[in-house]
């Protein structure tokens, strides 16, 4: 089986509010998208198609056809107001989860001869939704950034061995990284809010369990967890996972991805081994 992706961008305005909720309730459910009368996003929609390679042509699907379908179903949203211009949102809230679902329905109900596998819809650089059809299992990813110092050194190894394994990260006085953390949860879309998890609710969890704990800290010196544990990104990922896991109840923590440098990234799924595309 082959998977191929095509991207399309559009800019649109929206407002995510439940009229008879307080500002605090709306902010918990929708984050900044629930504040004020409306605002815009530069959305990025990545459509993944699955299929066998056709022997005669050597391709899965003609990308010229895909481009045309995406222009007619997704591209038409460019410069629109999702609440006012889309019939689907006359009585629903245009959250990223529900917009991804609407785009999915539009694409599959157009006369396409390809099999849609996934829509990844970025609301902005820091939040995206993976939609595979239906509202029962939708994936939401939030990205945060923080800075921390560490020194990688194992007391069980010689100085030469430590230098050979950890390289620059073995510098005796430590050094710092600007870490990027992507946290992915999955669950069903709440019919009232149109979200898998409240945007403000998830941000509060990440603020409490990651930012306040690790941002601008020396991992070796300031964190009890690393008194006996070498703060490699592998161990760090597991520590972050264990802090986050009990905080998600209605949704399932699915994956974390810790980007240590532009060249090194670490993914951890806890006990999950399933890898849907």
Q: Is 260 a catalytic residue?
A: yes
Residue with tokens 């300031």: 222
Residue 146 or 254: the one with the smaller Cβ distance to Zn ion is 146
C-beta closer to Zn ion: residue 114 or 122: 122
The two tokens of residue 270 are: 């806890």
Token pair recorded at residue 156: 């069980």
What is the β-pairing status of strands 115-124 and 138-150?
unpaired
Do strands 80-81 and 2-14 pair parallel, antiparallel, or not at all (unpaired)? parallel
- DSSP E strand stretches across 188-248: 217-218
Closest contact distance (angstroms) between CB of 30 and Zn ion is 7
Q: Return residues touching Zn ion (CB under 5 A).
A: 33, 169
Q: How far is the CB of 261 from Zn ion (least distance, A)?
A: 8
The smaller minimum CB distance to Zn ion, of residues 175 and 250, is found at 175
Nearest to 95 by CA among 190, 201, 3, 161: 190
Known catalytic residue at 111: no
Q: Write down the catalytic residue from 16, 33, 45, 169.
A: 169
Q: How far is the CB of 233 from Zn ion (least distance, A)?
A: 8
Tell me whether residue 31 or residue 187 sits nearer to Zn ion (CB atom). Answer: 31
* Known catalytic membership, residue 169: yes
Residues written for the chain: 277
Q: Please identify which of the residues 216, 221, 234, 267 carries the catalytic annotation.
A: 216
Catalytic choice (97, 209, 225, 260): 260
CB of 33 to Zn ion, least distance (A): 3
Q: What is the DSSP letter of 207?
A: I
How would you classify the pairing of strands 252-259 and 265-268?
antiparallel
Which residue numbers are catalytic? Answer: 169, 216, 260
């Amino acid at each position: 089986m082959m998977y191929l992706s095509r991207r399309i961008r559009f800019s649109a305005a929206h407002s995510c509010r439940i009229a008879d909720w307080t500002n605090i309730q709306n902010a918990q459910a929708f984050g900044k998208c629930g504040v004020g009368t409306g605002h815009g996003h530069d959305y990025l929609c990545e459509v993944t198609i699955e299929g066998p390679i056709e022997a005669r042509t050597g391709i899965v699907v003609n990308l010229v056809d895909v481009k045309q379908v995406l222009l007619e179903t997704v591209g038409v949203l460019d410069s629109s107001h999702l609440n006012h211009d889309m019939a689907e949102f006359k009585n629903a809230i245009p959250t990223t989860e529900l917009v991804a679902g609407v785009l999915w329905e539009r694409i599959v109900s157009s006369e396409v001869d390809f099999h849609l596998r996934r829509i990844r819809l970025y609301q902005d650089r820091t939040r995206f939704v993976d939609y595979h059809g239906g509202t029962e299992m939708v994936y939401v990813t939030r990205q945060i950034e923080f800075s921390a110092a560490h020194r990688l050194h194992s007391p069980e190894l010689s100085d030469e061995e430590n230098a050979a394994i950890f390289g620059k990260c073995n510098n005796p006085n430590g050094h710092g990284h600007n870490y990027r953390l992507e946290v992915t949860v999955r669950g069903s879309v709440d019919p009232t809010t149109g979200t898998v998890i409240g945007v403000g609710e998830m941000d509060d969890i990440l603020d409490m369990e990651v930012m306040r704990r690790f941002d601008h800290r020396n991992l070796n010196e300031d964190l009890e967890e690393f008194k006996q544990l070498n703060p490699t990104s592998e161990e760090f990922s597991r520590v972050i996972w264990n802090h986050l896991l009990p905080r998600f109840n209605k949704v399932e923590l699915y994956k974390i991805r810790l980007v240590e440098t532009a060249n090194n990234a670490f993914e951890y799924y806890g006990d999950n081994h399933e890898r849907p595309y």
